[in-house]
């Protein structure tokens, strides 16, 4: 069986081969952690965005959208805390000259202990079979006990160093744990320094008049600074939400794992404004609502888990991540945060404007509290692709590579294929496309054998292949082949739109969230 690392490599190669994702400016050897979405990728990405945006704004009457600019007044980022505190602790290896995030090096060390514990457990489970008692094993096996203690001590020490913002202690942990640079293999480390993740540029032509502006590191602030505009012009009553999709930029130190950690990426964020004191109730509601959104896609309920934060940002009073099982382990795809009134209060303080809500029910004004749901489009894209990518062994001994994408997200919904390139079959196939194309993104393919054409469509996740043969000209029926089951059936051309629509419409995905 292929290792998870191999599966991931294959997935990355597949994304490139079939036009989903290309390295940015590849003819110049690419640009670190920046990617372009190709002809298939952009369709899948747009479908993900539509699924998110419509779920927010159609299913919730009290959520509206905006599209704020990427550039914002620089004071925004002072008020939000990003100028002073949006930092990662970095460390360089003096021999390889490679730069790492100190916290990531330590997290990887913790993961190594976890792997060792799991390995011991698997070995023992195999040895003892049905009589294996995991709890007892943890209590009695000296090696496992040692790893658990080491892991727990390291975790405690690490959490304290982060909380205290103690950079010297982070370095000391790296030294004490004998963590080496994966490139040079040495422990020749610099001190740990803080590194601000925001990109900046200058706005304005003249040198003395130019203003330093930032590329936004999150879309959320565009919502906060527009809270009053939307609340007043939309006559919004609390509780209400503002949703937005847009690009964000972070100068990530450790940028790897493909589109998982990029320097230019896209976020789908929603800020939900609530009455103070009700925020934890709303936090729980949004946790469940967002999990349902994920699960409705049918990628496998067991692939999700919550990771509640034990270390909270100073402005948050609850926070959790929705993690998805990627080929490289469970990883954060979405963050849900109870941000209190921090952001609105800060903007009020820095702008000198009153940012409040007059609540007619209690005849009082207050600064609303905020629940934020924030998901990365690119991470969502990666989780969908990772879950969909399958190498299937067929009965005839062949392997087929298929993307079992949720049909509503698939880039192409149907491919129409004339059995042969003559006898009026291409014309008939085009007639069918000309009818379907207003509702569904279709492809036409007349090259190679039908089998090869099926494989090409499987590889991009097309739910339906429709073959036009000689009988079609007489009976107005075609053969429709279903991607996942490979079953074929003869159906009337008049029924095609209905059959496709039933499977690819987002309606069921929306309804599944409401169950
Ligand atoms: N406004 C809150 C916020 O930005 P975050 O946890 O820093 O919170 C939210 O980011 C989501 O954005 C993450 O869960 C992830 O999906 C995505 N994200 C963050 N940094 C990313 C990066 N460098 N590349 C791709 N996606 C990223």
pLDDT at residue 166, rounded to an integer: 93
CATH architecture for the domain at 87-194: 2-Layer Sandwich (3.30)
Which tokens belong to 324? 């998805």
Residues 6+ apart with CB under 8 A from 182: none
Which tokens belong to 293? 């959104």
What is the Å distance from ligand 1's center to 334 Cα? 7
Number of other CB atoms surrounding residue 59 within 10 Å:
14
Strand-pair partners of 491: 478
Query: For ligand 1, is residue 506 a contact (CB within 6 Å)?
Result: no
Query: For ligand 1, is residue 269 a contact (CB within 6 Å)?
Result: yes
Query: For ligand 1, is residue 343 a contact (CB within 6 Å)?
Result: no
Q: Given the DSSP bridges, would you call strands 63-65 and 211-214 parallel, antiparallel or unpaired? A: unpaired
Distance CA(88)–CA(194), nearest Å, equals 6
pLDDT in tens, the chain (515 residues): 567 778 899 999 999 999 999 999 999 999 999 999 999 999 999 999 999 999 999 999 999 999 999 999 999 999 999 999 899 999 999 999 999 999 999 999 999 999 999 888 888 888 888 888 888 888 888 899 999 999 999 999 998 998 888 999 999 999 999 999 999 999 999 999 999 999 999 998 766 678 999 999 999 999 999 999 999 999 999 999 999 999 999 999 877 789 999 999 999 999 999 999 999 999 999 999 999 999 999 999 999 999 998 778 888 999 999 999 999 999 999 999 999 999 999 999 999 999 999 999 999 999 999 999 999 999 999 999 999 999 999 988 999 999 999 999 999 999 999 999 999 999 999 999 999 999 999 999 999 999 999 999 999 999 999 999 999 999 999 999 999 999 999 999 999 999 999 999 999 999 999 87
Query: For ligand 1, is residue 252 a contact (CB within 6 Å)?
Result: yes
Distance, C-alpha 280 to centroid of its chain: 25
Residue of the CA atom closest to atom 5 of ligand 1 = 335
- φ and ψ at 425, to 5 degrees? -70, -40
Which tokens belong to 133? 């008692």
Strand-pair partners of 464: 414, 482
Query: For ligand 1, is residue 368 a contact (CB within 6 Å)?
Result: no
Query: For ligand 1, is residue 334 a contact (CB within 6 Å)?
Result: yes
Give the residue from 126, 128, 124 showing the smallest Cα distance to 138.
Answer: 124
Query: For ligand 1, is residue 340 a contact (CB within 6 Å)?
Result: no
Query: For ligand 1, is residue 266 a contact (CB within 6 Å)?
Result: no
Query: For ligand 1, is residue 220 a contact (CB within 6 Å)?
Result: yes
Distance CA(44)–CA(394), nearest Å, equals 27
Category of 30 on φ-ψ map: left (φ > 0), alpha (ψ -120 to 50) or beta = left
R_g of the chain, CA atoms, integer Å:
27
Distance, C-alpha 219 to centroid of its chain: 15
Q: Given the DSSP bridges, would you call strands 35-37 and 21-23 parallel, antiparallel or unpaired? A: antiparallel
The segment(s) of the chain belonging to CATH 3.40.50.800 are: 394-514
Q: Helical H runs in 372-424?
A: 377-388
Atom of ligand 1 at shortest range from CA of 261? 24
Residue of the CA atom closest to atom 12 of ligand 1 = 376
What is the pTM assigned to this prediction?
0.90
Query: For ligand 1, is residue 410 a contact (CB within 6 Å)?
Result: no
The segment(s) of the chain belonging to CATH 3.30.930.10 are: 37-71+197-388
Question: What's the CATH code, domain 394-514?
Answer: 3.40.50.800
Distance CA(434)–CA(467), nearest Å, equals 15
- φ and ψ at 484, to 5 degrees? -75, -40
Are the beta carbons of 97 and 283 closer than 8 angstroms?
Answer: no
Bond before 239 cis per omega within 30 degrees: yes
Distance CA(254)–CA(100), nearest Å, equals 6
Residue of the CA atom closest to atom 4 of ligand 1 = 218
3 state SS of 264: strand
What is the chain's length? 515
CATH class of 37-71+197-388: alpha beta
**Helix axes 507-514 and 41-59, enclosed angle (nearest 10):** 50
What is the Å distance from ligand 1's center to 351 Cα? 27
What is the Å distance from ligand 1's center to 253 Cα? 14
Strand-pair partners of 263: none
Q: Interior CA angle at 405 toward 18 and 430, to 5°?
A: 65
Query: For ligand 1, is residue 375 a contact (CB within 6 Å)?
Result: yes
Query: For ligand 1, is residue 335 a contact (CB within 6 Å)?
Result: yes
Look-up of token digits 């609850």: 318
Residue of the CA atom closest to atom 16 of ligand 1 = 376
């Amino acid at each position: 069986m292929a290792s998870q690392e191999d599966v991931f490599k294959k997935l990355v190669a597949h994304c490139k081969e079939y036009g989903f994702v290309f390295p940015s400016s590849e003819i110049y050897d690419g640009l670190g952690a920046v990617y372009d979405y190709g002809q298939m990728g952009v369709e899948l990405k747009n479908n993900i965005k539509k699924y998110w945006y419509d779920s927010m704004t159609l299913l919730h009457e009290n959520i509206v959208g905006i599209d704020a600019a990427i550039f914002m007044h620089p004071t925004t980022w002072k008020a939000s805390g990003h100028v002073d505190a949006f930092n990662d602790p970095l460390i360089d290896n003096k021999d390889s000259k490679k730069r790492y995030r100190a916290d990531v090096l330590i997290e990887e060390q913790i993961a190594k202990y976890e792997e060792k514990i799991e390995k011991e457990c698997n070995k023992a489970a195999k040895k003892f079979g049905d009589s294996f008692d995991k709890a007892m094993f943890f209590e009695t096996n000296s090696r496992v006990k040692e790893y658990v203690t080491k892991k727990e001590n390291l975790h405690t020490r690490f959490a304290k160093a982060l909380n205290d913002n103690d950079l010297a202690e982070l370095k000391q942990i790296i030294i004490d744990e004998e963590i080496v640079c994966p490139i040079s293999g040495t422990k020749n480390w610099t001190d740990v320094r803080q590194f601000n993740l925001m990109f900046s540029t200058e706005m304005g032509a003249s040198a003395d008049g130019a203003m330093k502006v930032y590329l936004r590191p999150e879309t959320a602030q565009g919502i906060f600074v527009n809270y009053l505009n939307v609340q007043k012009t939309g006559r919004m009553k609390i509780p209400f939400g503002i949703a937005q999709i847009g690009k964000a930029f972070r100068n990530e130190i450790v940028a790897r794992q493909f589109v998982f950690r990029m320097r230019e990426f896209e976020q789908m964020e929603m800020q939900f404004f609530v009455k103070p004191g009700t925020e934890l109730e709303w936090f729980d509601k949004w946790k469940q609502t967002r999990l349902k959104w994920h699960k409705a896609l049918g990628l496998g309920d067991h692939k999700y888990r919550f990771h509640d934060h034990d270390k909270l940002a100073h402005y948050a009073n609850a926070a959790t991540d929705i993690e998805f099982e990627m080929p490289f382990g469970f990883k954060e795809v979405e963050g849900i945060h109870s941000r209190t009134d921090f952001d609105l209060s800060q903007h009020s303080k820095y702008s000198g404007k009153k940012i409040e809500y007059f609540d007619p029910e209690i005849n009082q004004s207050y600064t609303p509290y905020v629940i934020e749901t924030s998901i990365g489009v690119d991470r969502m894209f990666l989780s969908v692709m990772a879950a969909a990518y399958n190498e299937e062994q067929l009965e005839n001994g062949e392997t087929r590579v298929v993307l079992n994408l949720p049909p509503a997200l698939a880039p192409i919904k149907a491919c129409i294929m004339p059995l042969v390139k003559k006898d009026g079959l291409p014309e008939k196939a085009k007639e069918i496309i000309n009818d379907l194309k207003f509702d569904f993104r279709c492809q036409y393919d007349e090259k190679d054998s039908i089998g090869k054409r099926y494989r090409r469509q499987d590889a991009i996740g097309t739910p339906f292949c429709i073959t036009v043969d000689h009988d079609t000209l007489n009976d107005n029926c075609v053969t429709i082949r279903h991607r996942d089951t490979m079953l074929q059936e003869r159906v009337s051309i008049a029924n095609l739109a209905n059959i496709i629509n039933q499977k690819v419409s987002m309606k069921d995905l929306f309804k599944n969230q409401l169950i």
